[in-house]
Structure 1
Amino acid sequence: MTTHRSHRRPLGMLATVTAAAMLLMGCNPYSTGPMTVKDPAAFLEAAPCESTGTAAVPSALASNVGGPYLVESVVDGDTIRISCNGTSTRVRLVGVNTPETVKEDSPVECGGPEASDYLHFRLDGGQVFLSTDPARGERDQYDRLLAYVWNADGALVNQSIVELGHGDAPGYGKDYAYKDTFDVAADNAEAEGLGMWACP
């Protein structure tokens, strides 16, 4: 993974003015809570897995969120495992790319262990809620379920990873529901030198 983001527009006057306007209207553009003007969750679909957990659905979550699901394990900073219809399934967090720690024939990248530790801290032994994004498809080329992941408190974990600088939001040339939100969060984290953005 590269930490050069020349492909991303710089955090300029328009983004700053937009963020300020959202704050004045009572919307936090960096919040992991629900958006009040345009809700990206409206474009999502519930994960195609039977529930395996018992946690109550947080009131802030939309009806198109599936779960709860018991977290079997954290693989790295942007991948977890859950049981999906009786099969142990890798879930790749949509819109997030963290530095590598377990990729075969690849070195551990700067910021990778911290990203992995963060996801362990947030999700180990916990329960999650998942939605897929029709704009990205249900599975990737490695047969991983592509999903947005909310923890039992209703926080969108994908977004918090980007906000704290533990991962980028590259998009890989594809649109997705939270793209604008994640782009702003990534630009802000890079500007502040958070997480992996402090790497040389």
Structure 2
Amino acid sequence: MALAATDRWTATEPAAPLDPRAMTVEYVYDGDTVRVRDGDGALTVRVLGIDTPETVKTGYTVGCWGPESSAYARATLDGAAVQVSIDPRADAVDDYGRTLAHLTLPDGSDYGTAAVRAGMAKAYAYGRSTGRPTEDIARAESEARAAGAGLWGPPCEGRTDSVQLEGN
């Protein structure tokens, strides 16, 4: 099966949930974006339901807790065999051509929920509102906030926005 963004597997049309696809993470860009590969090719995946502080956005400062979030993603995902799940209620791809999907870790847990629970990411609605964070992600964020975990504690206190550099 080809992996083009217009492929049926990427859920460009509303449909019944599609079976997860077994893929291997071959590169971690940052805490919420990875490149995955299987025998049919590679996809760049933007993880649905979460947002992590910026570390690689050209013309912007690094967001508070960005390096820690990226390190967490590398430690958790780099080289991992994951299940990539498209949510047919959400947009298939974003404005940058990345496939929007959930990642299930080898132990069966959801990467987005785990990252939010650890304070490495915030719950985030990406694209269509039906692709909003799951209840598990929202609950994990409440727990992380209450515990002051990761980006919810010092020095960030939940403020992780990048600032555009002058001249950009």
Q: Which runs of 5+ in 1 are unaligned?
A: 1-46, 50-62
Contact 2:91-2:131 within 8 A present in 1 as well: no
Equivalent position of 1:184 in the other structure: 139
CA spacing shift, 1:119–1:65, aligned 2, 3 Å:
farther
CA contact (8 A) 1:98 1:168 kept: yes
Does 1:82 find its partner at 2:36? Answer: yes
Superposed CA deviations along residues 101-137 of structure 1, whole A, max 9, x for unmatched, are: 0111111111111111111111112211011112212
Please show how residues 76-155 of structure 1 align to structure 2 within 5 Å: 76-83=30-37, 86-155=40-109
Equivalent positions of 1:39-54 (< 5 A) are 48=9
TM, length-normalised to structure 2: 0.75
SS at structure 2 position matched to 1:136: coil
How does the TM-score come out when normalised to structure 1?
Answer: 0.64
Q: Distance in 2 between matches of 1:177 and 1:156?
A: 15
* Percent of residue pairs identical: 35
Distance 1:157 1:65 in 2: 17
Cα separation, 1, equivalents of 2:18 and 2:60: 37
Aligned residues of 1:171 and 1:179 also touching (Cα < 8 A): no
- Which of structures 1 and 2 has the bigger CA Rg? 1
Give the 3-state SS of the residue equivalent to 1:88 in structure 2. Answer: strand
Q: Partners in 1 of 2:27 and 2:70 — Cα distance? A: 11
SS at match of 2:131: coil
Distance 1:139 1:153 in 2: 26
Task: Encode CA deviations 1:166-195: one digit per residue, 9 max, x unaligned.
Answer: 111121571337522211211221121111
Matches within 5 A, 1:56-75: 64-75=18-29
Higher normalized contact order (CA 8 Å, seq sep 6+, divided by chain length): 2
Aligned counterpart, 2:150: 195
Query: Is the Cα–Cα contact under 8 Å of residues 78 and 98 in structure 1 kept in the other structure?
Result: yes
Q: CA deviation at 1:84?
A: 6.3
| Distance across 2 between alignment mates of 1:85 and 1:141 | 26
Deviation at 1:83, TM superposition (A): 2.8
SS of 2:136's partner is: helix
SS at match of 2:142: helix
CA distance in 2 between partners of 1:184 and 1:112 (Å): 22
CA RMSD of superposed structures (Å): 2.3
Within 5 Å, give how 1:14-53 maps onto structure 2: 48=9
Distance 1:65 1:143 in 2: 21
